[in-house]
Amino acid sequence: MIYDTIIVGAGSAGCVLANRLSEDPDHSVLLLEAGPDYRDLNSLPPDVANGYSPTFDHDWGYSSEAGAAGYEPIPLARGKLVGGCSATNATFCLRGAPADYDAWASLGNPGWSFAEVLPFFRKLENDADFKNEWHGRAGPLPIRRYSTSELAPGQQAFLDSCVAAGFSRVDDHNAPGKIGAGPTPMNTVDHVRQSTALTYLAQARSRSNLMVRSRTTVDSILFKGKRATGVRLSGPAGRTISADRVVLAAGAFGSPAILMRTGVGPAGHLRAERGPLRERRGEDLTGHSTGKRGDFAAHPNGGSPLVHVCQVSGRVRSSILRNVNEIGEKRTLPESSGNRLLDARQVFLSAKSA
C-alpha cells in the first residue's frame, strides 16, 4: 500500500498532524512512533497520567556532550511514546513573546508574525479562565490556571512577595505584554496531563483512513531523485513503506538524525562519518533541556545587566517538583549585537514539594 502521508514521530506535533491530515476521509495517513501507544486514559501508566510531575520512564536517554567550560553532560529529556514530550512534560502552556514571532517574520518567514499565529493559538485551546481576543474555548487542548484557594501557603507567600517586590500581579501570562507574577497556564485537568495523544489524536483514532503504528523506529527516508517516496524502518530486514509525502516530526534531535542517516545534512560531518551525501541542509535545531545548574551570562556590549538562566537542579522527579503554580517573570530587551538580538527572560518558580 502507498499512503498519502507518512508522519514520522507521534509526539507533540505528530499527533496534531495526524488529526488534521486525516480530516479528509480520502487521505490515508500512517503515523509511526518508536515508543509504546497507550490508547486511552485507562491504559496510561500512573507516571504518564500524573500531570503534577514530569516523568522520565518513557525517554530516549539522550545526554549532551561536556561543555567547553568543563561542565558535565546534562540529560536531554525526549519522550518516547505516543504523545512524545507532551505526554511526559511539566504541562506549562506558556506562549512565546509576540516580539519573537514578529522577529521571525521579519527575517523572511511569512505566516509567523504574532498576528498570524494568534488564530492558531486560539484554535488549539479550550481556556477555562478567559474568553477574549487572546484565547479560544473550542479547541481540543484544555488550559487552566490554579486559583488562589488551591495554592499552598508557601506558594501564596511567594506570590505576595513578588508583588511586594514590585512585580505586577498577572492573571494571564499568555496575553501580550503581561509581565509579572501570577498563576501558570497549564494543561492538567483532574491531575491528568492532557497530551496531544489524549486530545488531538484521541479525536481521530476512529477514522478508517488513519493508522497508528507504535514501537516502530524509522532509520531513513527513501528518495527518488530529490523527492521523498517513503521510509526505511530500522532492523536487519530494512523494511520499506511508500508514501506520496513524508512528514518528519521526530523532534529537534530525532528529525536531524533521520535526515543525516539518509544523507541530508552538513556535508563535512557526513563525510567525516563516511555516510552518503545526498544534499547539504541547515543546522541549529534546538530543544530545551532539564539542566543541572544556573548559568550567568553578560551581554557582550558590556552595559546590560547579568542574565540569570534558572534551571531546576538535577532531573526533575516527583519528590522535587509537584504542582508548579506560580511564575514570576522579568523581561529585558538589550540592544542588538551585530545581527543577533539578545532577548533574555528570568523565570522564578514556586514549587510544592511532594
- pTM of the prediction? 0.79
Q: pLDDT confidence of 75, banded at 50, 70, 90?
A: confident
Domain ranges of the chain: 2-66+73-92+194-272, 98-144, 146-185+291-354
Residue 320 has pLDDT above 70, yes or no: no
Question: CA–CA separation, 74 vs 315, rounded Å?
Answer: 9
Question: CA–CA separation, 204 vs 195, rounded Å?
Answer: 14
| Strongest mean pLDDT among 43-57, 275-289, 331-345 | 43-57
Q: For the domain covering 98-144, report its CATH number.
A: 1.10.1220.110
Phi, psi of 347 (to 5 degrees): -130, 130
Please write the tens of the pLDDT for every residue from 166-184.
Answer: 888 888 989 998 888 888 8
Alpha-carbon distances of 61 from 36, 46, 95, 212, 250, rounded to whole Å: 15, 20, 27, 24, 15
Residue 334 has pLDDT above 60, yes or no: no
Percent of the chain with pLDDT over 90: 49
Per-residue cell: 159? 506570590
Diameter over CA atoms, the chain: 65
Alpha-carbon distances of 73 from 2, 65, 178, 293, 316, rounded to whole Å: 42, 5, 35, 11, 16
CATH 3.10.350.10 for the 2-66+73-92+194-272 domain, yes or no: no
Q: pLDDT confidence of 78, banded at 50, 70, 90?
A: very high
Percent of the chain with pLDDT over 70: 75
Question: CA–CA separation, 34 vs 98, rounded Å?
Answer: 34
Question: CA–CA separation, 265 vs 257, rounded Å?
Answer: 9
Classify residue 35 as exposed, middle or buried by CB count within 10 Å of its CB (0-12, 13-18, 19+). Answer: buried
Residue 348 has pLDDT above 80, yes or no: no
| Cross-strand bridge partners of residue 92 | 186
Which residues in 2-21 are b (16+ Cβ under 10 Å) and which e? Answer: ebbbbbbbbbbbbbbbbbeb
Alpha-carbon distances of 329 from 89, 243, 280, rounded to whole Å: 20, 46, 40
Please write the tens of the pLDDT for every residue from 260-276.
Answer: 888 888 777 777 665 55
Pick the closest to residue 151 from 184, 174, 126, 127 (CA basis): 184
Secondary structure of residue 99 in the 3-state scheme? helix
